[in-house]
Amino acid sequence: MSLTTDLQGLIEPAAAQQSQPAQSLRPQQAAPRGWEAGVRYEPGGAMVVTAPPVDSHPQGEADWRAHVEEMGLAIPDGFRVRLVEAKHDPAAWHRDSQGDDAVTRAVWRCKYVIEPAAPTWMSAGDVDALVRDAMRRRRKARPVVDTAERALVVVYADAQAGKVGRDGGTPELVARVADRFDRLDDHIRDLKAIGRGPSVAYWADAGDCVEGFENTPQQAFTNDLTMTEMVRVHRRITFEGLDRLAGKMDRVVAATCGSNHGRVRRGKDALGPPVDDWGIEVMSQVADAYARNQDAYGHVSFVMPERWRDSVSLDVAGHVVGLSHGHQYPRPEKAGDWWRGQSFGRQPVADAAILITGHYHHFRAQQMGNGRLWIQAPTLDNGSDWYAVRSGEVSTSGLLVFSVGPDGWDDLRIL
C-alpha cells in the first residue's frame, strides 16, 4: 500500500459499522409523570415502590411480591407487600426491541408499600398487655392550687313573663325561677368542692324576657300581666339573680341582647333601632340602681348592644363568647349559616369561640368549624303549647350554666 493510499485512509472517515447496543442502553418506554419506576424509603423502614407496567392486574400478595422482586428488591423477613394504587393505562407506548416500531398496548401501573407485617406498636407486646399496662398506669398528681381564672356563665333565656301555658302563669314562672336559682347556689358549691370554683360570673340574658302583646293576637287573651307588670317582674327577677352572684363572686358581668318578644312594637312592626327593647331597658335600669351603691356592687359591670346592633360579645376567661337571641334566622338548623355570615360581615359575634342563643326553647349544643361551639339555651317559660300541638315536641325548662377556663368550656349543665 502506497504512502498516498495510506494518507488517503488517514484523512477519510471510516465506514459506519452496524452494531446492536447493549441491552441496558435500549430506550425504555415512557412513563407518565409520577409513575416512573423506583423506590422511596419512608421513616420507620417502609418502602413505597413504583413498579414497571405489567400486562394484567396483579392478583393477591403472591403476585405483588413477584412484581416487586422482579425489580431486584429483596423483601425482608417480617415485612409484607401491599398494593396501594393500581392504574389501568389503555394506550401505553411500547418499543419491545431496538429498531422495532412503537406500538400501544394496555398495561397496569402499580404502586406498592413494603411494610412491617404487624403494626410497630405491637412489637412491645400483645393487645392484652397494651390495654393492661395503660389501665394500670399511675395517674399524674393534680395541681394543688389552680391559679387560672375560671368563669361561670349563667344563661337566662326566654322567661316571657306574663305568658300563660300548660305549666301555669306568673306564680308558676316565679316559683320555677326561684327553684333554679337555688340549684345555681348548689352548683357553685359543687364546683368549689371539686376544685373548679369560679371567681367570675357572667349573667347572659338571651332575650324574650317578657311575652308582650304585639307578637300574636292570642296574647291579648292569654297573658295574665299588663305590659308594665311584665317588665316589673323581669326586673325584680334580674335583681335577684345578680344579687346572688354578686354576693359570691369577685367580679360579675351582666349582658343582654335584643329579641323579638322584647322589642318595642306597634302591631307586629318594630319601632326604633334594635336597642328599643324591654330586656335592654331593664338591664339599663339595674345598671343605674347598682351604680348608686358602689360599695356593694362596684364589682358588677354591664354589657349591652350598640344602638344599631342586637348582639354582643364578651371576653370570658380569655375566650370570646357571643350572645344573640336567635330570631335572626328562620330555624335552628340555620344557626351555623347565620354565624358564618356574621363573621364575614365583622359583626359583634364574628370572633366568638362560643355562641349562646335562645328563641327556639330547647337545649342544643353543636361543634362547628374549627373548635367553635354553638349553644342553644333551653327556655324558662310556661311552655309553648302552639308548637307542641303542631309538632308533638315539648321543650323542657331549665337554667343553662357552664364554665370557661384556660382550656375552654366545661361543666355544662341544665339546672
Q: Count other Cβ atoms within 10 Å, centred on residue 110.
A: 23
Question: What are the CA-CA distances from residue 47 to residues 75, 282, 320, 412 (Å)?
Answer: 10, 70, 47, 48
Average pLDDT, the chain: 87
123 has pLDDT over 70: no
- pLDDT band of 314, cuts 50, 70, 90: very high
Side-by-side strand order, sheet with 312-316: 312-316, 319-323, 354-357, 372-376, 364-368
Q: What pLDDT score does 146 carry?
A: 58
**What pLDDT digit, counting tens, does each position of 215-265 carry?**
888 888 889 999 999 999 999 999 999 999 999 999 999 999 999 999 999
- pLDDT band of 11, cuts 50, 70, 90: very low
Between 13-22, 84-93, 132-141, the lowest mean confidence (pLDDT) is in 13-22
From 154, 150, 184, select the one nearest 402 (Cα to Cα): 154
Between 80-84, 93-97, 116-120, the lowest mean confidence (pLDDT) is in 93-97
323 has pLDDT over 80: yes
For residues 31 and 83, which has the higher predicted lDDT (pLDDT)? 83
For residues 186 and 122, which has the higher predicted lDDT (pLDDT)? 186
Adjacent-strand bridge partners of 253: 202, 301
Asked if 88 and 110 count as a contact pair (C-beta separation under 8 A), the reply is no
Adjacent-strand bridge partners of 25: none
Q: Which CATH class is domain 151-414?
A: alpha beta
Q: What pLDDT score does 25 carry?
A: 38
283 has pLDDT over 90: yes
Asked if 350 and 391 count as a contact pair (C-beta separation under 8 A), the reply is no
Domain ranges of the chain: 31-135, 151-414
49 has pLDDT over 60: yes
Asked if 307 and 273 count as a contact pair (C-beta separation under 8 A), the reply is yes
Give the pairing of strands 364-368 and 372-376: antiparallel
Distance CA 131, CA 134 (A): 5
Give the pairing of strands 319-323 and 300-303: unpaired
Q: Which amino acid is at 115?
A: E
Span 63-90, mean pLDDT?
89
95 has pLDDT over 50: yes
- pLDDT band of 396, cuts 50, 70, 90: confident
Q: What pLDDT score does 145 carry?
A: 53
Return the C-alpha cell found at 241. 339573680
Between 105-119, 180-194, 301-315, 394-408, the lowest mean confidence (pLDDT) is in 105-119
Return the C-alpha cell found at 403. 364554665
Return the C-alpha cell found at 358. 335562645
For residues 397 and 384, which has the higher predicted lDDT (pLDDT)? 397
**What pLDDT digit, counting tens, does each position of 337-352 carry?**
999 999 899 999 999 9
For residues 14 and 164, which has the higher predicted lDDT (pLDDT)? 164
**What pLDDT digit, counting tens, does each position of 13-45 carry?**
555 444 444 333 334 456 788 888 889 988 777
Distance CA 58, CA 298 (A): 79
Return the C-alpha cell found at 257. 341582647
Q: Which element (helix H / strand E) includes 82?
A: strand 79-94
